[in-house]
Amino acid sequence: MQRIPTARPSWNDEMRIAAIETLDSLKWVKGVKGKQFGLAFAEHCGALSAAPCQNGSSSLWASLRLLGIGEGDEVIVPSFTFIASATAIPLVGATPVFVDIERDYWCLDFESVEAAITPKTKAVIGVHIFGQPYDPRIIDLCKSKNIALVEDAAQAHGATQINTNGEKLFAGSMGDVGCFSFFPSKNMAVGGEGGMLTTTDQELTEKVKAITNHGRAPNLESMELGSNLRMSEVSAAIGLVQLSNLEKWVKRRREIAQKYTEAFANHPHVSIPKVRNGAEHAWHQYCLRTSAPKKLMKYLDENSIDSRSYYSIPCHHQAVFTKHPQFQSPMKVTDEVAGNLVAIPVMHELTDLEVEHIISIVSNFEN
């Protein structure tokens, strides 16, 4: 069997034709495709407005700018996440306040968030880690404290969560501003780098579009500090096609994840990931927890299966935060989980034969 990668971007004739037709139109920027993509994505996730942008990292920076966060402000963020979730905060002059994660679901811990709030707290960045939605109580907490909630949904395309009112929310509508990435390994992509800003705040519906275009109003006057974060028309055209396939792709990921969960439920050397009650996981990654991550990865590699370790160095321990007061602080669950998670392929492009091979190999792993 050929080597099985951790990601295999979807690409077909419909996407190819959409890209070529857009190139042939010679309208490569600031055209109808970007507008259509934003409208379609907002409708998909139940947001009031959405704007395509360059990548997930720029969407995080833009979200904080939209919320007026800057010097002297604090933003709560989990340490167990991709580094961009944390570095977006000092990039606008604010201070990240790192919190621990839940033992079962690995998203930011509600009690830790509540305890970290101070008069300087202006926002919480909630991360749907690996496609698992965060605790819906965080939505209520932020509203009650008048704190903005930035939804880092970079790994959560298609995820849903029942909120405390019994409503089903899609990723992208569980915060004031939502941030997505369309990196090629994600559940959907745009043929390269790409991202999306969403909002559920009426006052921000036009601003999410403006901030990606130098903060300019329709008359082209710059009303606020923004930059050129626009997505190309070609990428937006590809994204539109990919979005139309997202539901079936996420369904396939859930089918694969369920097969893994059933196969490895009683494995003596690995633990399976748990899904929060009321949530529909998007399965950007399926991570097995093990006390021997290097051994498992080496074993998978010898059997032609790619894997990755997440996140071996928590954000608050990384060199970029050497001068941060929490740099050497212990974080109980984060420190326990970091580096012990091994992601195995769960992409929707996996064939049944590949899934069977992965199950067979992991089932025979011995620590």
| pLDDT in the model for residue 24 | 97
CATH 3.40.640.10 domain locations along the chain: 13-241
What is the per-residue pLDDT across 55-104, written as a single tens digit (0 to 9) for each? 999 999 999 999 999 999 999 999 999 999 999 999 999 999 999 999 99
Count Cβ neighbours within 10 Å for each residue of 257-271 and write b for 16 or more, e otherwise.
bebbeebbeeeeebe
| pLDDT in the model for residue 174 | 98
Q: What is the Cα gyration radius of the chain?
A: 20
pTM, two decimal places = 0.96
| pLDDT in the model for residue 60 | 98
Residues of the chain with pLDDT under 50: none
CATH of the domain spanning 13-241:
3.40.640.10
Beta bridge partners of residue 151, listed in sequence order: 126, 178
| The CATH number of domain 246-363 is 3.90.1150.10 | yes
| pLDDT in the model for residue 129 | 98
What is the per-residue pLDDT across 282-291, written as a single tens digit (0 to 9) for each? 999 999 999 9
CATH 3.90.1150.10 domain locations along the chain: 246-363
| pLDDT in the model for residue 104 | 96
Average pLDDT of every residue of the chain: 96
Cβ neighbours of residue 142 closer than 8 Å, sequence gap 6 or more: 124, 148, 149, 175, 176
| pLDDT in the model for residue 258 | 98
Q: Which of 145, 71, 155, 147 is nearest to 346 (CA)?
A: 155
Residue whose structure tokens are 């994505």 = 41
Amino acid at 324: H
| pLDDT in the model for residue 59 | 97
| pLDDT in the model for residue 222 | 74
